[in-house]
Amino acid sequence: MEFVRAIKVNGSAGPDAMAWADAPDPVPGHGEVLIEVAAAGVNRADLMQRQGLYPPPPGASEVIGLEVSGVIAGLGDGVHDWQVGDRVCALLSGGGYAEKVVAPATQLLPVPEGLDLGAAAGLPEVAATVWSNLVMTAGLRSGQLLLIHGGGSGIGTHAIQVARSLGARVAVTAGSAEKLARCAELGASVLINYREDDFVAAVRAEGGADVILDNMGAAYLSRNVDALANFGHLTIIGMQGGVNGELNVAALLRKWGTVHATNVRNRPATGHGSKAEIIAEVRRNLWPLVADGTIAPIIHAEVPIADASEAHRLLESSEAFGKVVLRVQDL
């Protein structure tokens, strides 16, 4: 059996549990491609998996990592739209922290000319999450107000740019004046320091949020409903504030509001609501804006893959503005 190098988690749930070690060489199956990995994006889901709180879906690699960039090194049967040597980034169910990974061809995006592969590694997960939630589900449109919790995160920095490209107004929460100032540079106009200000009052002063993109979950549930405008849509994409919350159904009814909770990783590979469907929509509607520079990946730091523990510590510290990526190899 041939081997590649990959991050493995050994024993404890702390960052130091990760080690750069040998792993079986992946082989592409039907409809898959083999990618020589240049870089891998780091996501909070990775931290949860390391801690044993977010196991991979059945059949997915046990290796951490939900997105990569690199060069196609091999094609499985039935792949006709891609060629060996193509520069790509990919949405994964796992396996990204490695020298090589296999991915369904339907979950690939071409890396635009001039975009560094390291920066490209920070795009697939945020692009799929933001576009599927804000556009495909919530129907965000010009003139509406979007509230983003965690505006300085990888998701947040991408969502600000997407919303502004659609003509929407953007409100953000963040924990420092510095992060809020940088969110304003990206296009946010309502800036809320969650350590000092009441986001409900701030958003109500703007007429309420038509769409809320929430990474907190239970802790913000009732307050998010209070912050909604009539016919508003709350979409929950994270659980940083816990999993059990109380929903005031009467308050939601009075606003004719909706609550939607979703992730990307556990979606089916194909069919309605699938990863393939999302990536196709991203490539059709969002990718031209990435290619022309209207929407750019915001990268806080690139960390060598052998120092993955430091990348996890950085993300856990909440100091990062935008994405953290792991540089695997120069391609």
pLDDT beneath 50: ranges in the chain = 1
Has residue 278 been placed in a domain?
A: no
Q: Within this chain, do residues 235 and 136 fall inside the same structural domain, yes or no?
A: yes
Q: Within this chain, do residues 182 and 248 fall inside the same structural domain, yes or no?
A: yes
- Give the end of a domain, one of 261, 280, 312: 261
Say what the pLDDT of residue 11 is: 66
Please give the structure tokens belonging to residue 46: 């990775």
- Give the end of a domain, one of 261, 284, 310: 261
Cα–Cα distance for residue pair 110/127, rounded to 1 Å: 13
Say what the pLDDT of residue 113 is: 94
Q: Within this chain, do residues 209 and 253 fall inside the same structural domain, yes or no?
A: yes
Say what the pLDDT of residue 165 is: 98
Q: Within this chain, do residues 91 and 130 fall inside the same structural domain, yes or no?
A: no
Q: Within this chain, do residues 80 and 92 fall inside the same structural domain, yes or no?
A: yes
Q: Within this chain, do residues 134 and 96 fall inside the same structural domain, yes or no?
A: no
Has residue 61 been placed in a domain?
A: yes
Mean pLDDT across the chain: 95
Cα–Cα distance for residue pair 197/175, rounded to 1 Å: 10
What CATH number is attached to the domain comprising 11? 3.90.180.10
Q: Phi/psi class of residue 11: alpha, beta or left (left: φ > 0; alpha: ψ in -120 to 50)?
A: left
User: Locate tokens 């309502």: which residue?
Assistant: 190
Q: What range does the domain containing 304 cover?
A: 3-123+297-327
Say what the pLDDT of residue 43 is: 96
What CATH number is attached to the domain comprising 194? 3.40.50.720
Has residue 194 been placed in a domain?
A: yes
Backbone phi, psi, residue 228, to 5°: -70, 145
- For every residue of 257-287, DSSP letters joined together read -EEEE--STTS-SSSTT-HHHHHHHIIIIIH
Say what the pLDDT of residue 2 is: 62
End-to-end CA distance of the chain: 24
pLDDT digits (tens, 9 = 90+) for 84-142: 999 999 999 999 999 999 999 999 999 999 999 999 999 999 999 999 999 999 999 99
Say what the pLDDT of residue 240 is: 84
Read off the DSSP letter of residue 24: E
**Tally of domains within the chain:** 2
Q: Are 252 and 259 in contact (CB under 8 A)?
A: yes
Say what the pLDDT of residue 246 is: 86
- Give the end of a domain, one of 204, 233, 261: 261
Say what the pLDDT of residue 3 is: 64
Has residue 84 been placed in a domain?
A: yes
